[in-house]
Amino acid sequence: MSIEVGSVVEGVVTGITNFGAFVELPGGKVGLIHISEVADVYVRDVKDFLKEKDKVQVKVLTIDERGKIGLSIKQLQEKKPVEPMEQRTTASPSYKPAPRRAPAHDFRRPNNRFNAPSFEDKLTKFLKDSDERLTDLRKSTDSKRGGRGGSRRSE
Q: How many CB atoms lie within 10 A of CB 102?
A: 5
**In this predicted model, what pLDDT tens digit does every residue of 29-77 receive, in sequence order?**
999 999 999 998 888 899 999 999 999 999 999 998 998 999 999 998 8
pLDDT digits (tens, 9 = 90+) for 97-111: 666 666 555 555 555
pLDDT at 35: 93
pLDDT: which is higher, 82 or 17: 17
- Tell me the sheet residues that pair with 58: 9
Sign of CA dihedral 146, 150, 151, 155: positive
Residues 139-149 pLDDT 10s: 888 777 765 55
pLDDT for 148? 59
Q: Burial, 21: exposed, middle or buried (Cβ in 10 Å; 0-12, 13-18, 19+)?
A: buried
